[in-house]
Amino acid sequence: MEARRRQWARVVVLVGVLYALIGVVFAWPATHVRVWRLAAWLVSAAAYAAHIGYERFGLRNAPRRAAWHVALAVALGAFGLAVAATIHSLSVVSTHQHRRLLLVALVVWPIMTGLPAFLVGLGASEVLARLPWNARAE
């Protein structure tokens, strides 16, 4: 049981860091910003879907637990992006109000992304749990 707990926690941290890296790395190119932003969304969506699949089929977690783990990874990624934005604001000309809002983002972004990620993950996990070929024990 302890090994399983550590395994999902490692995956949450790994995927959370992946989300933050996707956000930071895909923001670097100065040209074709919309294309890079769309690419970041697509790569993040693929990571999100893969994480749901892993939670349901790899770890055989119940829908609520799978959605919770996926939402934690998303919230961690959003927190990482807020940290990166805050650090970036220190290297550019930024108003005090702007930096204060970025500090608020450290709390708001994880909630703002984690809650919808939980709800969508719960729905997707419930659908996956009801597939006829999904023989699992809960």
Q: Is position 112 within any domain?
A: yes
How does pLDDT run along the chain (138 residues), one tens digit per residue? 566 667 889 999 999 999 999 999 988 887 788 898 899 999 999 999 999 999 999 999 999 999 999 999 999 999 999 999 988 888 877 677 787 888 899 999 999 999 999 999 999 999 999 888 765 444
Q: Is position 134 within any domain?
A: no
Whole-structure pTM value:
0.86
Cα–Cα separations (whole angstroms), residue 115 to 25, 70, 112:
24, 10, 6
Instruction: Please tell me the total count of domains within the chain.
Output: 1
Q: Is position 135 within any domain?
A: no
Query: The tokens of 99 are what?
Result: 């930096």
